[in-house]
Amino acid sequence: MKKHILLVFIVLISCTSNTKKVESTASTTTYFLIRHAEKDRTDSTNKNPNLNSEGLERAEKWAKYFENIHLDAVYSTTYNRTMQTSKPTAESKKLAIINYNPKDMYDANFQKNTAGKTVLVVGHSNTTPAFVNKILGEKKYKDIDDNDNASLFIVTITKDGKTSKVEKVEN
């Protein structure tokens, strides 16, 4: 009888440790953060311009870039240029675009809703690096140059910590 109890105990411990391993793998959070594509600059007084033809093309190329990358969510500010940049990717993934306020980026609600997921965040030359810095908890990245629409920030969060890198994606 004692051998049976011991055997059951060992099996239970083994199952529990395997479950923890699965949970730790599933708890990886990955953020892809990009700036909106090229905007129409013909009217310098327009605070909410649309993308120009080059920007619309780049937005489609971002969708192709993410084609073989699983995304759980697509976030964007409410500006025309960010919504238009995120739209092709969101549509290809059959995801609704979730709007976020860049003044409240990476708040507790966002963290809870994205934990363990792979997420695309579309922002601006100043908000994208600021968002990355907020996730990392340090001021690592400066604002993006106003002509840079090709930087891709990738932040990965695991139980072991946070890592980040920047890639130039000249779609």
| Phi and psi, residue 127, nearest 5° | -80, -30
Give the sign of the dihedral formed by CA 106, CA 64, CA 87, CA 93: negative
Q: What is the pLDDT of residue 26?
A: 60
Place of tokens 């923890």: 20
Contact status, residue 74 vs residue 89, Cβ threshold 8 Å: yes
Q: What is the pLDDT of residue 104?
A: 92
Domains recognised in the chain with CATH numbers: 27-168 (3.40.50.1240)
Question: Facing residues of 35 across strands?
Answer: 123
**pTM assigned to the model:** 0.84
Q: What is the pLDDT of residue 24?
A: 36
Place of tokens 């605070």: 47
How far apart CA 59 and CA 73 sit, in angstroms, is: 17
Residue 12 CB contacts under 8 Å (≥ 6 apart), including other chains? none
Alpha helix ranges (H) inside the chain? 2-26, 53-65, 80-93, 108-114, 127-136
Q: What is the pLDDT of residue 170?
A: 85
Q: Count Cβ atoms within 10 A of the Cβ of residue 33 and give its class: 0-12 exposed, 13-18 middle, 19 or more buried.
A: buried
pLDDT tens string, the chain, 171 residues long: the values are: 544 443 444 444 444 444 333 333 468 999 999 999 999 999 999 999 999 999 999 999 999 999 999 999 999 999 999 999 999 999 999 999 999 999 999 999 999 999 999 999 999 999 999 999 999 999 999 999 999 999 999 999 999 999 999 999 986
